[in-house]
A and B are shown apart, each in its own frame.
Chain A
Amino acid sequence: NAGVTQTPKFQVLKTGQSMTLQCAQDMNHNSMYWYRQDPGMGLRLIYYSASEGTTDKGEVPNGYNVSRLNKREFSLRLESAAPSQTSVYFCASRLQGAADTQYFGPGTRLTVL
């Protein structure tokens, strides 16, 4: 039981390049989330998927797109990377029950030059 996994762990892009961050969970959770973490800002929600087949914008969605591929996988795409997107990205998942706890992956550290 790996929990929430993310790939890659590190990535360096040039301005304008595109990439997709992958996230998968093996806990049979319904909801999945993408956050970014910047110094002094705390974790901020980019997009989330309450259930398979649905996605919604969070607090900072501009410049990103997401795909809920199936119940296990939720990807985040940067179509044209900008230096302002340099950050650490975390994926999380939640069962959607009384506990309502979100469990986080190990993160992807992205640098855009």
Chain B
Amino acid sequence: EDQVTQSPEALRLQEGESSSLNCSYTVSGLRGLFWYRQDPGKGPEFLFTLYSAGEEKEKERLKATLTKKESFLHITAPKPEDSATYLCAVQTGGATNKLIFGTGTLLAVQP
């Protein structure tokens, strides 16, 4: 069964304290791995897509990496405005291109 697991469930950081969020997956035929950011009361906002092991993408203080079994979202010197829930999703093979989501990591960055 296709599955996506995110850890930790919640993470509290001090401003400037770098860390990483993990997304591990077991799927039959990965077509892509997506990271989204979700603020309270809002819809998920797209951050990155990764397609193959070894791929890396960066945006401001965020860097996403992908291996054959997991992805990491590295947050360098976070600021309070980085506080949000970060969602990971995988797209499996087939014509329907369905996404399977993890339950997210709630990140709180304290000033």
Chain A residues close to B by CB (< 8 Å): 4, 31, 40-45, 48, 50, 56, 58, 90, 94, 96, 99-107
Let me know if B44 and A45 touch, CB within 8 A: no
Q: Give me the 8 closest cross-chain CB pairs, A-B, nearest first.
A: A104-B43, A43-B101, A42-B101, A42-B103, A104-B44, A106-B43, A107-B43, A105-B43
Given A48-B96, A90-B43: 20 more A-B contacts, CB < 8 Å: A4-B43, A31-B97, A41-B103, A42-B4, A42-B87, A42-B103, A43-B101, A44-B101, A45-B99, A94-B97, A100-B31, A100-B32, A100-B49, A101-B46, A102-B34, A104-B36, A104-B43, A104-B45, A105-B43, A107-B42
Contacts of B46 in A (CB 8 A): 101-104
Across the interface, which residues of A come within 8 angstroms of B96, CB to CB? 48, 50, 56
Distance of A4 from chain B, by nearest CB (Å): 8
Q: Is the CB of A42 within 8 A of B104?
A: yes
Q: Would A43 and B87 count as touching, CB distance under 8 A? A: yes
Return A2 CB to nearest CB of chain B, in Å. Answer: 13
| Residues of chain A with a CB closer than 8 A to B87's CB | 42-43
By a beta-carbon cutoff of 8 Å, the part of chain B in contact with chain A is 4, 31-32, 34, 36, 41-46, 49, 87, 89, 91, 95-99, 101-104
The winner among B41, B44, B49, B102 for most chain A CB atoms within 10 A is B44
Choice from B43, B98, B104 contacting A58 with Cβ under 8 Å: B98
Q: Could you tell me the distance between the alpha carbons of A103 and B95 in the complex, rounded to whole angstroms?
A: 18
Closest A residue to B95 using CB positions = A50
Q: How far is A58 from B45 in the complex, measured between Cα atoms in Å?
A: 22
CB distance from B4 to the nearest CB of A (A): 8
Give the Cβ gap from A30 to chain B, nearest Cβ, in Å.
11
Chain A residues whose C-beta falls within 8 Å of the C-beta of B43 in the assembled complex: 4, 90, 104-107
CB proximity of B62 to chain A, nearest CB, Å: 16
Closest to B102 in A: A42
Contacts of A99 on B, CB cut-off 8 Å?
49
Q: Which residues does chain B contribute within 8 Å of A48, judged by CB atoms?
A: 96, 98
Q: What chain B residues lie within 8 Å of A41 (beta carbons)?
A: 103
B98 touches A45 (CB 8 A): yes
